[in-house]
Amino acid sequence: MNVASLNPPLLALIVLPAAAFFALAIPAWLGRRVDERAINAIVGAAFAASALAAVALISGMLAIGADRVVLPLGTWFETDSYRFTWTLVADHLSVPFALLSTVLVGLVGAFSRRYMHLERGYRRFYLLLALFGAGVEVVVLAGTLDMLFFGWEIVGLASALLIAFFNERVNPVEHGLRAFVTYRICDVGLLAAAVSLHHAVGSSDIAAPSPGSGDWGGFSCPNDPIQATAIGLLLLWASIGKSAQLPFGGWLPRAMEGPTPSSAIFYGAISIHLGAYLLLRAAPLLEQAPIAAAAVCTIGALTALHATFVGRVQSDIKSALAYASMTQVGLIFVEIGLGFRYLAIVHIVGHAAVRSLQILRSPSLLHDHHHLEQAMGQQLPKTGGHLERLVPAAMQPWLYRHALERGYFDAALLDFAARGFVRLFLALDRYDRAWSDLLTSAPRPPRLRQIRDAQESQ
């Protein structure tokens, strides 16, 4: 067995989910009906097979002692000074993530067979789930930051569309848009980081690990510490959107609009940890940029603290779980910033399993609460006592309102940060309308009178 024999399973990890997506998308595009059973078989088979591929990849790597498998797939386009290559990299970081994501997506796919039964958007749900699965594998296995960006966008799109799954109501659509806008703002960081990497070191490839810098390779690190810091901060900026860290975390509780299984897989398990994955990938670079690493720690610590307070006053189960996720991801950021890379990986895997199961179980809360009361033989003990002991009495109302209002981040964002843009857009809209009305001399939308006129003139 040689390293080349590991290429097929590595490729399968991306191809199979993508194939499932196209197998659902093409009939949908052609307007063909596909029944639930077939949809399920397609997605189930694809993710089961890709989970097997991941297992084969891992066992193969262990068997031949390969720390790293690189599979160049070709070039998309190139110019004199730039080349976009498709490369897959399997190493100590990407392989556990690849396995975790494909297994979890497969499990949620199986779960949703019963959960989504008879739902009108059944196909759409699986279509987006497969797209998401494919996107995550691209992010995880990408050999360059440019390719990672490609997967990153797919994940963001699938995420926003699933939040807005129940598109006949206003709130899901608004909250899907909110997540999408947050993602886009943070994508700027990722794009800028890729451009800067090309500018500084000429490539955004994931290099082989240099001796002493850990078990997996990161992006090539510029020699100039200022550039390294800047790129590290840009990557941090990119990751705080996906991982719902401060100050952009407000979309996360709002994302609980979709069907429960999609909330579990995105915001309990995979999507929320992708920011952490990006930072882990950049860990060798962060090592060279202590200021950026400190920023990662600070953001993580502040988020964990903020989210744990806010989460504690949430009185609906999905928001409480969303903030609990945010808390742990904040901690994971701290671990990454401090350089505990393997701890972070273990933490991510453990947290993903715990949290997704909790979200899947959340509709049974009343049942569980009743049984827990019976088991304990009493009303559940009051919680929050030590918080009340620690915080001075005079501060408690302040802190409580702070938590209830979610740290006022929404107000800050909507009333101050976004206000200028909104005003500008409204003004532009007014001018645009005035101008087009002038041109078309149609001061009002057509009504009965105009239609009558129009018909009479025929």
Partner 1 sequence: MLTVRSDESVESPERVIAGILEGVRHLLPEQAPLHAFVHHNPLHAFEHLPFERAVVEAASIFGTEPFQSEQAFAHSLEIGRIRESDVESVVDDDLGPEPGPAICGLQRREFILGRLLHPFEVPIGATLLWQLVETPAQRAIHPLVHSARRRTLLHHAEARYGSLSQSTLETLLMTELWQRMKEVASPVEEQPHRPRPRDRIRDALGIDPDTWVHPLLIRLCAAFLDQGVAYWTMARREEGILRAFRRLYGLPVGPPDRWMNGLAGECRRQQREAWTAESTIVWALVALEVPPKDWPIVIRDTLLSLRGWAGMMSQFEQHPQRAPVVAHPARLADYLAVQMTLDVFASRHALCSATSEQGSLLELRPQTTPPPRDLELVYEAFVAAQLLPVEPAAFEDSAHARSWLTAIAEFDGLARRRLLHRAYERSYRVRVLDGMQAHERLDRRQLPSPEFQAVFCIDERSESLRRHLEEICTVAETFGYAGFFGVAMAYQGLDDIHPRPLCPVALSPRHQIVERAIEKEEESSYRNLRRRHGTLRHALGVGSKSLARGGILTAVTGLMSVVPLIGRCLFPALTERWSQRLDQGAVTGPATRLEIERSGPLTCEDGGDLLRGYTVLEMAGIVETALLTMGIAGACAPLVLIVGHGSSSLNNPHEAAHDCGATGGGRGGPNARAFAAMGNHPGVRHALAGRGINLPKNSWFVGAYHNTCDDSVRYYDDDLVPAAAREHFELAVRSMRAACALDAHERCRRFGTSPRDLDIGKAIAHVKAHSTDLAQPRPEYGHATNASCIVGRRSRTRGLFLDRRPFLVSYDPTTDPSGEGLATLLLSVGPVGAGINLEYYFSFVDPVGYGCGTKLPHNIVGLIGVMDGHASDLRTGLPWQMVEIHEPMRLLMIVEAAADTLERILEAHEGLDQLVRNEWIQLVSWSPDSPAMHVFANGAFIPYVPESTAIPILDRSPAFYSGHHEHLGLAHLTAAFGGAPA
Interface with partner 1 (CB under 8 A), residue total 104
Rounded to a whole number of angstroms, the minimum distance from the CB of residue 168 to partner 1 is 9
Binding residues for partner 1 restricted to 281-310, rule: CB under 8 A = 304-305, 308
The runs of H, that is alpha helices, within 379-418 are: 385-390, 396-404, 409-411
What is the C-alpha separation between 136 and 139, in angstroms, rounded? 5
Rg (the chain; Cα; Å): 24
Rounded to a whole number of angstroms, the minimum distance from the CB of residue 119 to partner 1 is 6
Give the binding range for partner 1 (CB under 8 A) out of 3-11, 150-158, 210-218, 399-407. Answer: 399-407
Under the criterion CB under 8 A, does residue 249 sit at the interface with partner 1? no
Give the binding range for partner 1 (CB under 8 A) out of 50-58, 130-138, 224-232, 344-352. Answer: 344-352
Under the criterion CB under 8 A, does residue 276 sit at the interface with partner 1? no
Under the criterion CB under 8 A, does residue 159 sit at the interface with partner 1? no
Give the binding range for partner 1 (CB under 8 A) out of 133-141, 203-211, 217-225, 444-452. Answer: 444-452
The vertex-27 CA angle with 23 and 29, nearest 5°, equals 115
445 preceded by a cis bond (ω within 30 of 0): no
With contact defined as beta carbons under 8 Å apart, do 106 and 126 qualify? no
Give the binding range for partner 1 (CB under 8 A) out of 76-84, 108-116, 129-137, 215-223. Answer: 108-116
Give the binding range for partner 1 (CB under 8 A) out of 70-78, 180-188, 259-267, 271-279. Answer: 259-267
Taking alpha carbons only, the member of 304, 289, 291, 312 closest to residue 335 is 304
Nearer to partner 1, 79 or 378 (CB): 378
Nearer to partner 1, 202 or 446 (CB): 446
Rounded to a whole number of angstroms, the minimum distance from the CB of residue 450 to partner 1 is 10
Q: How far is CA 131 from CA 18, 135, 383, in A?
A: 7, 6, 41
**Choice from 20, 49, 127, 255 touching partner 1 (CB under 8 A):** 255
**Choice from 95, 286, 327, 333 touching partner 1 (CB under 8 A):** 327
What is the C-alpha separation between 117 and 424, in angstroms, rounded? 45
What is the C-alpha separation between 123 and 282, in angstroms, rounded? 36
SS3 assignment, position 75: strand
What is the C-alpha separation between 304 and 326, in angstroms, rounded? 7
Torsion sign, CA atoms 94, 325, 191, 77: positive
Give the binding range for partner 1 (CB under 8 A) out of 63-71, 80-88, 109-117, 187-195. Answer: 109-117
Q: How far is CA 65 from CA 1, 62, 199, 289, 405, in A?
A: 11, 5, 35, 31, 53
Nearer to partner 1, 198 or 312 (CB): 312
The vertex-218 CA angle with 329 and 101, nearest 5°, equals 45
What is the C-alpha separation between 212 and 259, in angstroms, rounded? 45
**Rounded to 5 degrees, what are φ and ψ at 243?**
-95, 10
429 CB burial (10 A radius; 0-12, 13-18, 19+): exposed
Longest Cα pair distance anywhere in the chain, in angstroms? 84
Under the criterion CB under 8 A, does residue 351 sit at the interface with partner 1? yes
Nearer to partner 1, 94 or 112 (CB): 112
Give the binding range for partner 1 (CB under 8 A) out of 66-74, 201-209, 239-247, 441-449. Answer: 441-449
Nearer to partner 1, 118 or 439 (CB): 118
**Rounded to 5 degrees, what are φ and ψ at 144?**
-135, 160
SS3 assignment, position 364: helix
Binding residues for partner 1 restricted to 3-62, rule: CB under 8 A = none
Binding to partner 1 by CB under 8 A, coded x per residue (else -) over 115-154, reads xxxxx-----------------------------------
**Choice from 260, 275, 278, 279 touching partner 1 (CB under 8 A):** 260
Binding to partner 1 by CB under 8 A, coded x per residue (else -) over 365-394, reads xxx-xx-xxxxxxxxxxxxx--xx------
What is the C-alpha separation between 110 and 93, in angstroms, rounded? 27
Under the criterion CB under 8 A, does residue 169 sit at the interface with partner 1? yes
Nearer to partner 1, 286 or 331 (CB): 331
Under the criterion CB under 8 A, does residue 265 sit at the interface with partner 1? no
**Choice from 22, 84, 150, 400 touching partner 1 (CB under 8 A):** 400
Nearer to partner 1, 86 or 122 (CB): 122
Under the criterion CB under 8 A, does residue 198 sit at the interface with partner 1? no
Binding residues for partner 1 restricted to 413-432, rule: CB under 8 A = 415-416
Provide CB contacts within 8 A for 52, sequence distance 6+: none
**Choice from 113, 242, 273, 281 touching partner 1 (CB under 8 A):** 113
Nearer to partner 1, 78 or 429 (CB): 429
What is the C-alpha separation between 313 and 303, in angstroms, rounded? 16
